[in-house]
Amino acid sequence: MKIEHVEAWTIPYSEPNDHGSTRFVTLCRVQDADGAFGWGEAVTIQEEAARATTVVLRQWASLLVGAPATPNAVRTAIERRGWWYGEGGGIAGFATSALDTAVWDLVGRRAGQPLVDMLGGSAHDDGLPVIVTTHAMIADLTEQAAVLAGWCRDANAAGVKVGFGKPGDAHLGFDHRRDVAFMSALRAALGDDAKIMIDLSPLVRWSVSDAINRTRAFEDHGLHWIEEPLGADDPEGYARLANATTCLLAYGEREWTLRGMARILDSGTVDVLGIDPGRAGGISNFVAIAAYALARRRQTNAHAFAGPVSYAAGLACSLASPTCLQFEVAPMRNTLMTLLAPDLPMPANGRVYPLPGLGLGVEIDAATVAALSVD
């Protein structure tokens, strides 16, 4: 079946897990000649990136009409065009991610199969454990720790991942003693068994020595992993940090391509490779990257901190990938979730399972998308 129509929209949303900040995604919809369709999402975050991605997708639409509605055919068609201004990354990377996901959704719906089955079936018979993921935003660290522990208990989650250096009043990541005091308070609030992950904002600028000292101090309170403590790309620094600490090191979600992810894995400096299907090439690249990580005996972890399409894509890929050992879920639903997919099933009893329905398993009303669009 061939593609007949491609649409794209720039959508703002309010993210309560990031202190109520306004973020942006680009949504796209691909339809074939029989009327089957699929949804994709680019996790662009910034308004200018979302608007530019929408423009690219609308320009690609004329190239794609008449092309076979398969991920490989679509990728071949856009690579012939986008290599000049993206090579898999940047705005072209965002557009590729949304388009690839939409075509996978279309193929699944047309075949009458859930995406997990299209990817070979779930590698996790009992689903995946949930990790509560949000940013620290409250100035009173004892109160912040209690809130996080409450969310963890309510979700029956295996642990929490906390963003440092984010909007709000917590001011974590900048003062060693304050950071350690928070870790102590969080461990006391969670108890002994729950995992603690720390995710560093790009605004936090640690030297290798800073990262070693802080990570060692956090390890005294049972730190499970620390994410991007040295930013997106510092293989030498990460090697030094790995040799000086015992917790897992996580990074990678700011990479765009299989080549970039493979470079990180080949460096031997990452234990948990973060992959954002709304940025790093969609479903196709997630599957390829996870397979490469499996060969390197490393974990992968989906970044699913945006809308319902990104959530569903990350969930399906995680369930199909033996390298994924947990799935992150934000404790507060943002407006993308509440307005576009209010009936989206959320985790039960601390675990996530394949979504019911065909393709991604997410039903979105195009009229609502158009009404929210700022284009």
Per-residue pLDDT of 89-115, as tens digits, reads 899 999 999 999 999 999 999 999 999
Q: Give the integer Cα–Cα distance in Å for 363 and 307.
A: 12
How far is 275 from 323, CA to CA, in rounded Å?
Answer: 12
* DSSP reduced 3-state for 37: strand
The closest of 174, 263, 261 to 210, measured between CA atoms, is 174
Q: What is the mean pLDDT of residues 28-34?
A: 95
Alpha carbons 269 and 54: distance in angstroms, whole number: 35
For residues 33-51, give the mean pLDDT.
Answer: 96
pTM of the model: 0.95
Give the span between the Cα atoms of 8 and 95, in whole angstroms.
10
What is the average per-residue pLDDT within 71-95? 87
Instruction: Give span(s): CATH 3.20.20.120, the chain.
Output: 117-352
Residue 81: Cβ within 10 Å count: 15
CATH 3.30.390.10 residue ranges for the chain: 3-113+364-372
Q: What is the CATH number of domain 117-352?
A: 3.20.20.120
Q: How far is CA 323 from the centre of its chain?
A: 15
Q: Does the domain made of 3-113+364-372 have the CATH classification 3.30.390.10?
A: yes
Distance CA 145, CA 182 (A): 7
Q: How confident is the model at residue 375 (pLDDT cuts 50, 70, 90)?
A: confident
